[in-house]
Homo-oligomer: A and B are copies of this chain.
């Protein structure tokens, strides 16, 4: 069956008001770019003509501005899940002009299949190759691609020639069976393959193919500063310490590392530390630092869901595919983030906290408890099931006026039960086997910025009784004072003293 090559505008006509649309990709990598913009333009025209036009959106995680940004600006989003990081979309959902539900990323594909989230009308996927018999080779990320392609009535392919067809083989595409027939997820080593190098779809569902030549958005990270460098060094120091104590095996364990500057700093410090052996990466997002360590031979294999790397690094990778192809695998997020595999492989998980409290709870999502930043992403998948779960954070933000460590997190995403280690630029809080009061003392002495230590000691000394001496009347004073004065410093606890 011949492929039907069409324009982005023609493709957008296959998407109707009220449709649920699934998109390929994960971070800007692998996401559609031109059809999404054409849908946004169509929405604007429909709105101008007085007709409603909004779609439900399932994605892998965050996407590019040409997807989330364009559709948000066109007010074309009925609901959105499971993760986002786009400025305009963030504004839309925080003004509650769209409904956003923030999900554990490993859960989305199965909850789609279980029918918990409604149907998928259309799948729009970026591909490096597509054949007449329905083989779709993804580009730099996979996300929820296999599930939306199987579930959708109609598939639109963006065939993007910025990604060479020769990347066929870098993907491992599968979908688990559902209960009560589910088998083991057969990944026992980071490099184990369990699927095909392409997504196989019914070719009759491919309603159109749109040729593009659009590069991924180029995120880029701020250069490392002293704080992020120190955090990275503290993580490396902790891991070496654990190896020496026999609590991490001598052959080491695979590493999961979150996204962003701190994650890059952590991987950099691990790479530079001669006491850390060569290691493997089993993660969600493969960043530039992983590719760099691979070239140095320090990382021997990386499995992920997304190659979220800069344009420069991806050009290098494509130019040297023969070097990288047997060292990299891109999987659907249901596999990259699967708790069964994470627990079995024994991942060392390293994620970033937005805010932590002195009892070891983590806020990953909400600024001051109300405003959604991005979402929980895969941090819950990895933290809850890892061999040892580490959270990192700079001790302060906004020139020291925000302490990352507060009496009570203003929103909780990861509970004390799942958080084992917290690391700031000041040091390492090892929370294992500690009661709440012991955790609080450990975090204050090791991680908190010196400007806040005495103040948090005073909070603990307010005389609240119980296993967790949390003062419900005073626990948000840091947030309250920040909203009023712009600083969390030197909160006066005297009015709460008994």
Interface residues of A (CB under 8 A from B): 79, 81, 93-96, 99-104, 111, 114-118, 178-180, 182-184, 186, 188, 245-247, 249, 251, 253-254, 339-340, 343-346, 361, 366, 368-372, 376, 380, 384-385, 387-388, 410-418, 420, 432-435, 437-438, 464-470, 472-473, 475-476, 479-480
A433 to B117, CA, bound (A): 6
**B472 touching A366 by the CB < 8 A rule?**
no
CB distance from A116 to the nearest CB of B (A): 5
Contacts of A469 in B (CB 8 A): 370
A371 to B436, CA, bound (A): 11
A79 to B469, CA, bound (A): 18
**B104 touching A418 by the CB < 8 A rule?**
yes
Determine the residue in chain B with the shortest Cβ distance to A248.
B114
CB distance from A313 to the nearest CB of B (A): 29
CB distance from A72 to the nearest CB of B (A): 14
Closest 4 CB pairs of A and B: A179-B346, A370-B466, A372-B467, A99-B435
**B433 touching A115 by the CB < 8 A rule?**
no
Contacts of A476 in B (CB 8 A): 472-473, 475
Knowing A115-B247, A246-B115, A345-B182 are in contact, say whether A417-B94 is a contact too (CB < 8 A): no
- CB < 8 Å neighbour of A251 from B180, B186, B415, B468: B180
**A184 touching B339 by the CB < 8 A rule?**
no
Knowing A96-B467, A117-B433 are in contact, say whether A182-B346 is a contact too (CB < 8 A): yes
Q: Which of A96, A111, A183, A469 has the most CB of B within 10 A?
A: A96
Q: Which of A118, A345, A437, A467 has the most CB of B within 10 A?
A: A467
A322 to B220, CA, bound (A): 67
Determine the residue in chain B with the shortest Cβ distance to A379.
B417
**B468 touching A369 by the CB < 8 A rule?**
yes
Knowing A417-B376, A433-B118 are in contact, say whether A180-B466 is a contact too (CB < 8 A): no
**A467 touching B366 by the CB < 8 A rule?**
yes
CB distance from A153 to the nearest CB of B (A): 17
**B339 touching A385 by the CB < 8 A rule?**
yes
- CB < 8 Å neighbour of A344 from B184, B343, B380, B464: B184
Q: Which of A178, A183, A473, A476 has the most CB of B within 10 A?
A: A476
**A433 touching B179 by the CB < 8 A rule?**
no
A101 to B417, CA, bound (A): 9
Knowing A115-B245, A179-B344, A344-B184 are in contact, say whether A434-B466 is a contact too (CB < 8 A): no
A253 to B245, CA, bound (A): 43
**A371 touching B79 by the CB < 8 A rule?**
no
Knowing A99-B434, A180-B253 are in contact, say whether A369-B413 is a contact too (CB < 8 A): no
Contacts of A99 in B (CB 8 A): 434-435, 437-438
Contacts of A178 in B (CB 8 A): 346
Contacts of A179 in B (CB 8 A): 249, 253, 344-346, 387
